[in-house]
A and B are shown apart, each in its own frame.
Chain A
């Protein structure tokens, strides 16, 4: 499913070159739940951005479903993010002044190239996704009217709505209390067990990382374990 071979990423920060990833190789299988762990500055966010097609590697090969992604143009990457990947962020990243239902409908608005989804269908799928994360009674609520846990569940519904192959979660419980965090992990278990979605989760919380099937540990841009 995800194949990464000897990937490096170098940033130019003013005069200095920062080697965020130095020759990382890994494979993640379809339906696998992987946690990427490591101290800050270890390169785990960079790895996630590359896997999530938000960023291209400086060198090395990244194949998604056997297709080489590293050399794709911006618009092709956008289409992959739209249809194959769902993102869950630490800070939720919901749109201000927008109801939960509209938040979840957002990704479908950018589904193009002959696959345009009619408005009624978008709403139906958004309702379904919100019901799945247990927010069937919160569809018309604005982000300011929702608790942190509820906001993160809206974000998960948004990640799910376009039926992705992979969910990328960046510290999904980092801004939540332990009860809300447990609810989020509960949903991840369901996605993993019932929907067989590939999950890549970045965290530095050992307890959360332990929920995954496999832990990849990074340090100074290299896999240590």
Chain B
């Protein structure tokens, strides 16, 4: 048998595109995703706001009213408007994905997703009403 031809292993150069830093701007669902993630910043701001409120209440009546006046200033109001939009966005997106994360089964059958989401919204309304009642003097 004659000499077999010399074998040269050929490894083609693979093309590996790099993901751009602005990958999330190229698709609407990704923009919404990043906004959802950024909503956590406004949740953290709310914690700061809440601690400032409670600290003011602890300092005395004058400090409490001063806090409310400060909260009414245009700068603070603007921050809080943006925060409210983002925190409500967080609430809605969180409730919408909860059924995917929790496969709730009752009696062997899977509870439909919209029902799980609806029960979260119902709990939200009830809790909000309870908090408002507590705060307003119930």
Question: Does chain A bind chain B?
Answer: no
**Interface residues, chain A, CB within 8 Å of chain B?**
none
